[in-house]
Amino acid sequence: MAGRLEGKVALVMGAGSVGPGWGNGKATAVLFAREGASVLCADINADAARETADIIRGEGGAAKAVACDVADHADVRATVEAVMREWGRIDILDNNVGIAEVGGVVELPEAEWDRVFDINLKSAFLAMKEAIPHMVRQGGGSIVNISSIAAIRYTGVPYATYYATKAALNHLTRTTAVQYAPDKVRVNAVLPGLMKTPMVESSAGLAARYGEGDVEEMWRVRDAQVPMGHMGDAWDVANAALYLASDEARYVTGIELVVDGGITLKYS
């Protein structure tokens, strides 16, 4: 039986993982390939990108890996051009890059504000800027921006840059979706809630905030916050991205798909 992305070409930005296990981008790239897509795995860490591509090829899929600084326009342009050289089209763009630095507006250095905006927001702008013209010429495509429930509520952790960048990404998603709807380019966002991923595990700031530096205590506290009783994982995000990337979502654009175990339904 054909996969849900059979014959499609996908570019996954942030396809590596910052540590052992499955990050959102890594799981998404592998799932896209399992559903039939050819995948370009892009990550600032070349080894992490190659690891994901190797997993895909080891399972019989088609994948290439490139190193890409998503905040550098020349790097992003070269990455999109690599997709076009290899496969001649780009059907799916998954913007899965993001960092979270703990600190409110008083504590944060200005340079940190600029750095997080470059990585979390400018990266999506640059990737869409380069990919959308190709999608328009070929008759359509699907863009999935990985946002966060931090875009729509306070999560208990003071990280002003994360809130601001993810909220901006949501609105950039909506407005771009409207602009390119006539060209059959769909643009949607996935809003993960509390997830158990290598990025969260590696964040000293989050571990300090939740568990006084104890990662296992952080997991326990975060599990307890979720109505379902546990955090999600990278595959929950990947499955949401798969739906939005697939033709099953052909009439869906400009939405924010919340994947959070019910936490945004809570009053506090």
CATH superfamily of 9-193+233-258: NAD(P)-binding Rossmann-like Domain (3.40.50.720)
Give residue-wise pLDDT tens across range 140-153: 999 999 999 999 99
CA distance 45 to 215: 24
Q: Is residue 90's pLDDT more than 70?
A: yes
* pLDDT for 4: 97
Catalytic residue among 159, 162, 180, 210: 162
Q: Are 206 and 174 in contact (CB under 8 A)?
A: no
Q: Which residue has the higher pLDDT, 228 or 100?
A: 228
Q: What is the mean pLDDT of the chain?
A: 94
Mean per-residue pLDDT, 93-119: 95
Confidence of residue 205 (pLDDT cuts 50, 70, 90): low
162 is a catalytic site residue: yes
Edge-first strand order for the sheet with 141-146 is 63-67, 38-43, 9-13, 92-95, 141-146, 185-192, 256-259
Confidence of residue 20 (pLDDT cuts 50, 70, 90): confident
Mean per-residue pLDDT, 31-56: 98
